[in-house]
Structure 1
Amino acid sequence: MTKSSRCHRLAVHTQTTKPLSLAAASAAYAQRGIEGISVWVEALEGLTTPQAKQIIDDFGLQVPALVRGGFFCAASLSERESRIENNRRLIETAAGLDAEMLVLVVGALPGESLETQRGWVRDGIEHLLADAEAANVKLAIEPLHPMYAADKSCINRIAEARQICDALDHPAVGVAVDVYHVWWDPDLSREICLLGTKNQIFAFHLCDWRVPTRDLLTDRALMGDGCIDLKRLRREVEAAGFQGWNEVEIFSEQHWAEDQNAFLDQIVERYNHVC
């Protein structure tokens, strides 16, 4: 099977193959014709940005995203300002990697109203707009499943992310649609269409929801091993105008314990037949 038919528009997140170093992951992806690598900040540990970029360039890979920025929610103004500064540094890192976007997991603070927190998120992103525009790096808000509403993300539906995008009304701000987090939403199809009207779908993340789920964080399933209608969701985002990368993002203790080369072979096969 040819490279293009197997891996067209396929990218893999470094966290999917967590046991591999950036260099080992880059080599393994390129060997299989996977052309995109979305880089988690953890994969950069011990490397300068130029060193990481050289590794990625040596294998001819492109970088859809740097993951993750955000985490805007904190009780004190000084801490919120510090987190904005950290995001500015991450935008610089993303630009240094030639990443298309910085993915934002927005954070949450237990005990504070979700409405207040969403205001912090909107304000935090607004402070980053000039930096993102100057660096030619997009900011992709990623809604997380409601199980994370208390302490990881006050943005849990596409509607809430879209409302921030509309309020800021800036071409650098959009949404990362992760099937794991949004497949359950009864308004999902409508929201995808609404995002499409303003070209606000920046990313599309693939995995599956295992039944029963053994761990809410580290038991994501390989595509086809769960209950999400992946083909339908891909058709919907593409009908809404999305033409970007299909990024495989799987956190799985089971798969991390396996041979990562065999796991990547499965990812390519499932991408070709299930998605």
Structure 2
Amino acid sequence: MIQTRREHVAPDRDRLAVHTMTTKPLSLAEAAEAYSRRGIPGISVWVEALEGMTTASAKQIVDDAGLKVPALVRGGFFCASDSVERQKRVDHNRNLIETAAELDAEMLVLVVGAEPGVALETQRGWVRDGIESILPEAEAANVKLAIEPLHPMYAADKSCINRIAEARVICDPIDHCLVGVAVDVYHVWWDPDLSREIKLLGEAERLFGFHICDWRVPTRDLLTDRGLMGDGCIDIPGIRREVEAAGFDGWIEVEIFSDEHWAADQGDYLDKIIQRYETHS
């Protein structure tokens, strides 16, 4: 286990949320019950967890468990060379905003997409156009739109926005209180400008979300081998101190893609998540 930690104070559990993708084998109902039973107050809902049910049914499940929903994950994917396809994606995001509002989710997280072979700057223009197109629906529903930069290894086909600085270039000209950034440590921990960018987000009041997990060394799979907090090289407590110094006081969301942990007993896994949250975040 790689440890690069500083002085640490155990966080309050009342800010802990877990993404349903973190416990992928569990249905929404199973996840909600398991989180609630362990005193986890927040559940960020992935759209995959809603398959086969109405939003009203999903909302009832969450409410019955006494949980809050920091985010609906994921919207975005605005990038496509064909203008008709781009419009379809914009319309899909409008529907997702409605779903987020029905779930009482604070925000819709946007993974913006990418199309191989197209200049990144061109694609970032599509992203800005897409966000501006759905902003009226976000305003009407009072749902925040949180751009999530993804690690550069995903620049070719998943996200043309890979640093916080690139997300800010989208946010700044739009200049709207509902458009901001979700900071996922897995994607941005390596950025030499991270401290400065977090501070700038805070000054502009655009720091909407904070996602945690760890970067394993060595990483066995670039998508599905994220580690529990403390199992890798990211200074999660240090980054958390920086986002909180920038004014962030929202949910600390655990988002882990892991074939290893998905194959484990999910109850034991959740117990480990809580323990690592309390000791390594």
Task: Report the TM-score range of the alignment, normalised by the length of the smaller protein.
Answer: over 0.9
Distance apart, 1:6 and its partner CA? 5.7
Hey, what does 2:64 align to over in structure 1? Answer: 58
Hey, what does 1:114 align to over in structure 2? Answer: 120
Hey, what does 1:17 align to over in structure 2? Answer: 23
Paired residue for 1:259, among 256, 265, 270?
A: 265
| TM-score (normalised: structure 1) | 0.98
Q: Secondary structure at the match of 2:22?
A: coil
Q: Secondary structure at the match of 2:87?
A: helix
Hey, what does 2:255 align to over in structure 1? Answer: 249
| 2-structure distance, mates of 1:5, 1:64 | 18
Say whether residues 1:85 and 2:95 are aligned partners: no
Paired residue for 1:181, among 167, 187, 190?
A: 187
Paired residue for 1:164, among 164, 167, 170?
A: 170
Say whether residues 1:30 and 2:44 are aligned partners: no
Paired residue for 1:217, among 218, 223, 241?
A: 223
Amino acid at match of 2:178: A
| 2-structure distance, mates of 1:252, 1:143 | 20
| TM-score (normalised: structure 2) | 0.96
| 1-structure distance, mates of 2:63, 2:88 | 32
Hey, what does 2:3 align to over in structure 1? Answer: none
| 2-structure distance, mates of 1:192, 1:23 | 35
Question: How has the CA–CA distance of structure 1 residues 5 and 216 changed in structure 2, closer, same or farther, with 3 Å as cutoff?
Answer: closer
Distance apart, 1:8 and its partner CA? 2.3
Question: How has the CA–CA distance of structure 1 residues 194 and 210 changed in structure 2, closer, same or farther, with 3 Å as cutoff?
Answer: same
The correspondence of residues 120-135 of structure 1 with structure 2, limited to 5 A, is 120-135=126-141
Question: How has the CA–CA distance of structure 1 residues 6 and 188 changed in structure 2, closer, same or farther, with 3 Å as cutoff?
Answer: closer
| 2-structure distance, mates of 1:97, 1:8 | 20
Would you say the 8 A contact 2:11–2:277 is kept in 1?
no
Would you say the 8 A contact 1:208–1:228 is kept in 2?
yes
The CA deviation string for residues 200-257 of structure 1, in whole angstroms up to 9 with x for no partner, is: 0100000000000000000000000000000100000000000100000000000000
| 2-structure distance, mates of 1:184, 1:200 | 21
Would you say the 8 A contact 1:174–1:201 is kept in 2?
yes
The CA deviation string for residues 175-207 of structure 1, in whole angstroms up to 9 with x for no partner, is: 000000000000000000000001101000000
The CA deviation string for residues 28-86 of structure 1, in whole angstroms up to 9 with x for no partner, is: 00011100000000000111000000000001000000000000000111110110000
The CA deviation string for residues 73-117 of structure 1, in whole angstroms up to 9 with x for no partner, is: 001111101100000000000000000000000000100000000
Structure of greater relative contact order (alpha carbons < 8 Å, 6+ residues apart):
2
Q: Secondary structure at the match of 1:177?
A: strand
Would you say the 8 A contact 1:36–1:63 is kept in 2?
yes
Amino acid at match of 1:183: W
% of aligned pairs identical? 75
| 1-structure distance, mates of 2:263, 2:11 | 29
Q: Secondary structure at the match of 1:194?
A: helix
| 2-structure distance, mates of 1:224, 1:208 | 7
| 2-structure distance, mates of 1:198, 1:159 | 13
| 2-structure distance, mates of 1:54, 1:254 | 31
| 2-structure distance, mates of 1:103, 1:57 | 21
Question: How has the CA–CA distance of structure 1 residues 171 and 6 changed in structure 2, closer, same or farther, with 3 Å as cutoff?
Answer: closer
Hey, what does 2:5 align to over in structure 1? Answer: none
Hey, what does 2:212 align to over in structure 1? Answer: 206
The alignment covers a number of residue pairs equal to 272
Hey, what does 1:231 align to over in structure 2? Answer: 237
RMSD: 0.9
Structure 1, unpaired ranges of 5+: none
Q: Secondary structure at the match of 1:152?
A: coil
Q: Which portions of structure 1, spanning 4 or more consecutive aligned residues, are displaced by more than 3 angstroms?
A: none
Would you say the 8 A contact 1:206–1:249 is kept in 2?
yes
